[in-house]
Chain A
Amino acid sequence: MKLTALVRTAGACGLPFVLLVAGAIEFDTEIGDDAAMRSACLPRLFVAVFGACVCLQVIAAESDAGRDIAANCATCHHGERSTGAAIPGLAGVEKATIIERVREFRDGTRPSTIMRQLANGYTDAQIEAAASYLAAQKR
Chain B
Amino acid sequence: MLLARTLGACANAAPPSAPKVVVVGGGYGGATAARYLRLWSGATIDVTLVERDAAFVSCPLSNLVIGGSKQLADITVGYGGLEKLGVRRIRGDAVAIEASARTVALAQGETLPYDRLILAPGVDFVYDGIPGLRSLAAQALVPHAWKAGPQTVALRARLEAMHDGGVFAIHVPRAPYRCPPGPYERACQVANYFLRQKPKSKVIILDANEEVQSKKALFTAAWSGRYRGYVEYRPNSELVDVDPASSTIKLDFEEVRADVINVIPPQRAGAITRQMGIANANGSFCQVDFLSYESTAQKYIHVLGDAIQTAPLMPKSGHMANQHGKVCAAAVVALLSDKEINPSPLIANACYSYIDDKEAAHIASVHAYDREQKTMLVVPGSGGLSSAPSVEEAVYADAWARNIWFDMLG
Contact = CB atoms under 8 A, between A and B. Distances in A.
Contacts of B40: 67
Nearest to A58: B2
Interface residues of A, number: 37
Contact of B393 (A68, A79, A113, A139): A113
A94 B338 CA distance: 33
A86 B395 contact: yes
Q: Which 9 A-B pairs have the closest CB atoms?
A: A121-B366, A121-B382, A84-B402, A32-B392, A86-B399, A16-B1, A121-B379, A84-B403, A117-B384
Contact of A86 (B348, B381, B396): B396
Nearest to B341: A64
Contacts of A78: 402-403, 406-407
Interface in B346-360: 346-348, 350
Interface string A44-76: 000000000000000000001101110110111
25 contacts: A16-B4, A17-B3, A29-B392, A29-B395, A65-B342, A68-B326, A68-B346, A69-B346, A72-B347, A75-B319, A75-B322, A75-B403, A79-B403, A83-B402, A84-B398, A84-B401, A85-B399, A86-B396, A86-B399, A113-B392, A114-B393, A114-B396, A117-B384, A121-B366, A126-B346
A102 to B, nearest CB: 12
A76 B350 contact: yes
Nearest to A87: B399
Contacts of A117: 364-365, 382-384
Given A16-B2, A72-B323, A78-B406, A64 B342 contact: yes
B379 A120 contact: yes
Nearest to B368: A121
Contacts of A138: 2
Interface in A78-98: 78-79, 81, 83-87
B388 to A, nearest CB: 10
Contacts of A79: 399, 403
A118 interface: yes
Interface residues of B, number: 46
Nearest to A91: B1
A16 B390 CA distance: 30
Contact of A77 (B323, B342, B392, B403): B403
Given A71-B36, A72-B323, A122 B396 contact: no
A36 interface: no
Contacts of A69: 346
A17 B403 CA distance: 10
Interface string B356-376: 000000101111100000000
A37 B367 CA distance: 31
A75 B404 contact: yes
A29 B390 CA distance: 13
A31 interface: yes
Interface in A91-139: 113-114, 117-118, 120-122, 126, 138-139
Given A86-B398, A114-B350, A122 B2 contact: no
Contacts of A67: 40, 330
Contacts of B368: 121
A3 to B, nearest CB: 13
Nearest to A16: B1
Interface string B31-54: 000001000100000000000000
Nearest to B405: A84
B409 to A, nearest CB: 11
B335 to A, nearest CB: 13
